[in-house]
Structure 1
């Protein structure tokens, strides 16, 4: 992946990578999760080449790139909020998603 020029776009891409990992971590990626991720990406103005590269990984069964936790730690509350919004977007919160959110909070140092 090419390196985005601004810190904001870099953060947004890392959030998107994390959301894709979370969505693909349970029983599969639902249509609602895909729609939510695409809406999130558009709202954050994620550069199209970056988005296309991540989508290609999903389509071809290629492992998704790991998100950069150092970048995500710059705004951990935004990451937790984006993750929570994703896991509730399909109306079904699975125990594995709750566990993933707990692990994300722990990795980012978010209390509670």
Structure 2
């Protein structure tokens, strides 16, 4: 798999983590993640495996931070798009975005 494709899959994994951070996943969040995945050309098999985890209540695979650190701005852009997408920004989502910045090594 090309490095760019792996990066995009890791972004989707992270977005799924963000979407579930407030213990509820809205239709808007799912649509946003699917739109992002399509824009990134994430293989349908990968996307299906990840969404199946959600549907069946299995733990989501953790994203590879080493890969995500290759382009932290793109990661944050995707996270902010997801958080703002449903029109409701929850405290847990703000905290999650802050934590992601730290994990990616981006100063506030």
What's the TM-score, normalizing by structure 2? Answer: 0.98
Tell me the equivalent position of 1:40.
36
Partner SS, residue 22 of structure 1: helix
Unpaired runs of at least 5, structure 2? none
Tell me the equivalent position of 2:13.
17
Task: Indicate the structure with greater helix content.
Answer: 2
Q: CA deviation at 1:28?
A: 0.4
Q: Note if 1:99 corresponds to 2:95.
A: yes
Match of 1:76 among 68, 72, 75: 72
Q: CA RMSD in A?
A: 0.6
Report how many aligned residue pairs link the two structures.
108
What's the TM-score, normalizing by structure 1? Answer: 0.95
Q: Which runs of 4+ in 1 moved over 4 A?
A: none
